[in-house]
Amino acid sequence: MDNDKLFKDTLKKLNADPAARVKEGYVIMLDVLGFRDLMSKRFGNTFFKIWADIKKSLLDKKEGLEKKIKPLDIDVLCLSDTLVVCISMKTRNKIDPRILLSLIPQLIDCFFWEQFTNRVFFRGAISYGKYQCDTANNIAMGEAIEEAYDWHSLSEWIGIVLTPSALYAKEKYIIENPNDNDICTIMNDRFVEYSVPFKESKTYKTNACVWFKVLKDKNKNQELLAKVLLVFSGIKHLHSVATKYSNTLKFIKTQLDLK
């Protein structure tokens, strides 16, 4: 089939489908580190069950959040080795969609740490902006999708970064809502300023997601670090990928204040 015609037909379908209307919110895009190795050597066919479990966890969380917050609209797509989760409001109202960053940790927490302990590692990015999403056909497009795609595989670690649009969306919300203490606290505790390691030994200062539990109890934090080291000591560290793990460990130690 002519690719141009296929694209035009897809775009026409998206524009005609109310479920694929233009939305404004956050896009989370994550891919699995070492996907080919996972499929061919470590997990094989069992990875399909892992992938299904992740999708179920996300869909269960989506259902729970949407029941609790009626205008909420969450889309979940699983594309080969990539997860795409989009969060917006169903109707345009007085609620600033930038507030939705405060809900993203709940989506991440429902699978990220558990899969880390299973040695399934993700890296990715969160963007903010307009997008279209058709979950029935696993199609997503728009500026927020493009920005998340551009950034999601550049970092050299296990973790999640805010792209510039998401960082500025967070900063705008906090500046305009200084008295919204609970929301601002979640945003600042779970998305912290950090010089994120990127490919070619570059860094970029943005916000990174704290995807593990940080407590005030130093002993509990040491226990968490021990769990991380247990995972890392049980995998091979080829020279070509070793930096990803050391960068991850550095970030974890920094947030746990266990330098």
Tell me what pLDDT residue 1 has.
45
Name, in order, each residue with C-beta under 8 angstroms of 160's C-beta and a sequence gap of 6 or more: 28, 30, 108, 122, 123, 124, 125, 126, 208, 209, 211
Residue 228 tokens, joined: 């991380």
- Mean pLDDT, range 172-176, rounded to an integer: 97
Cα torsion for 19, 21, 22, 23, to the nearest 10°?
A: -40
Residue 90 tokens, joined: 């169903």
215 HSE (CA, 13 A, CB side): 9
Tell me what pLDDT residue 123 has.
96
83 HSE (CA, 13 A, CB side): 30
Contact 77, 59 (CB under 8 A): no
The rounded mean pLDDT for the chain is 90
pLDDT digits (tens, 9 = 90+) for 4-37: 554 455 555 555 555 558 999 999 999 998 766 6
Cα-Cα end-to-end distance for the chain: 57
Residue 31 tokens, joined: 């891919």
**Fold designation for 10-211:** Alpha-Beta Plaits (3.30.70)
pLDDT digits (tens, 9 = 90+) for 190-215: 999 999 999 888 999 999 999 999 99
Angle at 13 between CA 12 and CA 14, to 5 degrees: 90
- Cα-based distances in Å from 105 to 209, 211, 212: 8, 8, 10
Backbone angles phi, psi at 171, to 5 degrees: -60, -40
Q: How far apart are CA 22 and CA 19, in angstroms?
A: 9
Q: How far apart are CA 100 and CA 98, in angstroms?
A: 5
Tell me what pLDDT residue 127 has.
99
**Out of 45-59, 135-149, 194-208, 212-226, which region has the weakest mean confidence (pLDDT)?**
45-59
pLDDT digits (tens, 9 = 90+) for 220-233: 999 999 999 999 99
Report the percent of the chain where pLDDT is more than 90: 73
Residue 235 tokens, joined: 């995998």
Q: How far apart are CA 56 and CA 88, in angstroms?
A: 20
Residue 224 tokens, joined: 């968490």
Tell me the domain boundaries of the chain: 10-211, 212-259
Q: Is residue 3 pLDDT above 50, yes or no?
A: no
Q: Which of 80-84, 136-140, 252-256 has the highest mean pLDDT?
A: 252-256
Q: Is residue 42 pLDDT above 90, yes or no?
A: no
Bridge partner list, 113: none
- Mean pLDDT, range 79-94, rounded to an integer: 88
Which residue matches tokens 């080829």?
Answer: 238
Q: Where are the alpha helices (DSSP H) in the chain?
A: 3-16, 35-37, 46-68, 104-109, 112-117, 143-152, 164-176, 181-190, 218-233, 242-256
Q: Is residue 140 pLDDT above 70, yes or no?
A: yes
Tell me what pLDDT residue 49 has.
84
